Structure 1
Amino acid sequence: MLRKFSPTIIGNITLVDKVILDLDGKKTWVFHGDVFDASIQHSKWLAKLGGYGYDFLIVFNQLINWFLLRLGKERYSLSKKIKNSVKGAVKFISNFEKTATDLAIENGYDTVICGHIHQPQKRMVYNDKGKVLYLNSGDWIENLTSLEYHNGTWQILTHPPYHKKESSIEVDDIEEINLPSLIASISSPH
């Protein structure tokens, strides 16, 4: 939706479709990746339908995980299971990665980073014209992943699953709040 406003600069925020970084003398191409998705480019209604289905799946999956956590079981990702078991999805992911890496090699990039397919990935890709480091950040909803560049190296960070701890507070444990004291403690310089 924001693509029609690209490029736009508002204060310290720049909205662009892609960015090319020079990191330690290496060219890094960063973009979302949806430009390679034919369903989004040519069938807007199909993309919207898929988006609604994905949103429903995420909400339904949260309900399932709520029950699993209550039973002492590990979280489960329905969309990951579906993506990994459907031949078309596996082929799409493979084609997506090949298109991104081939273009990156052709344009002389050392690294290509995207996230559209939400599959965390870090691997070196080779073809007859060269090589490129392919990175996919995954996502923060299903995979709890992100990318970090530190000391010249990229790594995929995976956050441990969130387990909400049940807590109960006894009424006897609650102290009466003295509002003037609370305000004074917040507003006084330390």
Structure 2
Amino acid sequence: MLKTHFKTIVISDVHLGTRGAKAKEVARFLKQYSCENLILNGDIIDGWQLKKSGSWKRKHTRFFNRVLKMIEQENTKVFYLRGNHDDFLDQILPLQIGNLSILNDMVYESHGKKYFITHGDIFDSVTTNFRWIAHLGDIGYTFLLWLNRQVNYHRRKKGLPYFSLSQYVKGKVKSAVSYIDQYEEELAKMAKAKGCDGIICGHIHKAENRVIDGVVYLNSGDWVETMSALAEDHEGNWQLIYYNQISFKKSSEDKEMDKIVNFPVTDYKTVAFGKLPDALDPKKFFL
């Protein structure tokens, strides 16, 4: 199958080690596309949850197997940037092994523009200065995701479509909306202070592609709910790609499996680049 080739792909907030991580989906996404540079922008592994109640599964390992194949077979350069949930990387960064670099943050230059790339938690005073509050927020979000699974289990039985309870709840909290706005504005200011044309981040699980006071603000979203990524084409244009809007081509093996288990084949929309509906925008306090 001929893959769509990008110059750079950015994903963040996969949270491997948690039940909410869409490990299969993100691995399938990376099989669909190829790129010169793959930037894993923090919270790829959720060390916080693994220390508590999380568990590492085979599908989580398969994600890294896919990344290694991209390095070996496609000569992709991979940059793994530290997030707050994978802060255990502090013990080894900076580190470079062949085409794999593990860093705190980086400056990316393309088509005459400079982008400061960081997970984003360093600018979050709640996470940085009041770690116990951040953990409390993490517990609340984990509970929302658990409740979300229960709600959608019963919705599926009734033939109803997927509904993101956690995104709906966060979207209704005014302080969360204010927090998101302030976060985006502060990161845009930081990029300008560093002499960059744009900022690329994650952390708040809210995919975005917009301009703030002349600075390009790009957020790759997450692979817990939104399932989104940033992609740069070879002309320097950035796009948001949503997993649920990708038209995947099924292999003959996949089609045979569909017949065996009698699952209907879902008709996916073609890729559309743009923002999620406002009602589905995840506005999250502490991540």
**TM-score strictly above 0.5:** yes
Q: 1:26 to 1:169 in 2, by over 3 A?
A: closer
Residue equivalent to 1:36: 123
The 3 A distance-change label for structure 1 pair 161 and 63 is farther
* Structure with larger RCO (C-alpha < 8 A, sep 6+): 2
Q: Aligned equivalents of 2:149 and 2:110: distance in 1?
A: 38
Specify which of 102, 106, 115 is matched with residue 15 of structure 1: 102
Q: Indicate whether 1:118 and 2:205 are aligned.
A: yes
One of 213, 216, 229 as aligned partner of 1:133: 216
How much has 1:57 moved relative to structure 2?
Answer: 1.6
RMSD: 2.4
Matched residue of 1:160: which SS? helix
Other-structure match for 2:229: 146
**Which residue does 1:56 correspond to in 2?**
143
Partner of 1:158: 242
Gaps of 5+ in 2: 1-86, 247-256, 263-287
Decide which of 63, 67, 86 is 2:154's aligned counterpart. 67
1:37, CA displacement in angstroms? 1.4
Q: CA deviation at 1:89?
A: 0.8
1:122–1:140 Cα change, 3 Å? same
How many residues were matched structurally?
164
Gaps of 5+ in 1: 171-190
Q: 1:32 to 1:169 in 2, by over 3 A?
A: closer
Bigger radius of gyration: 1
TM-aligned CA distance change 1:169 to 1:16, over 3 Å? closer
Matched, 1:106 2:193: yes
1:4 to 79, 84, 90: 90
Q: Distance in 2 between matches of 1:111 and 1:119?
A: 17
Q: What does residue 88 of structure 1 align with?
A: 175
Q: Which runs of 4+ in 1 moved over 4 A?
A: 165-170
Q: TM-score, normalised by structure 2?
A: 0.52
Deviations 1:87-116 (A, max 9, x none): 111111111001000111222211211111
Q: Distance in 1 between matches of 2:226 and 2:261?
A: 33
TM-score computed with the length of structure 1 as normaliser: 0.77
Task: Say if 1:144 and 1:161, in contact at 8 Å, map to a contact too.
Answer: no
